[in-house]
Amino acid sequence: MAIRISIDRMLTERGMSVGEFAEAIGITPANVAVLKNGRAKAVRLSTLDAICRVLECQPGDLLHYDE
């Protein structure tokens, strides 16, 4: 897929574990792994909203397009 989600770097910068992050945004750690590993086919806007709220970032900080 040409769109990547960069969560690893942001979690490292904020000193958050996957478990803490998953709990804060209301999804399972397994679903965080799906996002991190590029296996997600879709992301709900409510999940993206929660990710941005918790990581204090903009969607453009997370989503990257590779041709």
**Domains parsed from the chain with CATH numbers:** 3-55 (1.10.260.40)
Query: 29-36 vs 18-25: helix axis angle to the nearest 10?
Result: 110
Residue 2 — pLDDT band, cuts 50, 70, 90? Answer: confident
Higher pLDDT, 40 or 1: 40
Residue where the block lists tokens 């999940």: 47
The predicted model gives 28-40 an average pLDDT of 93
> DSSP letters of 29-56?
HHHHHHHHTT--S---HHHHHHHHHHHT
The residue type found at 22 is A
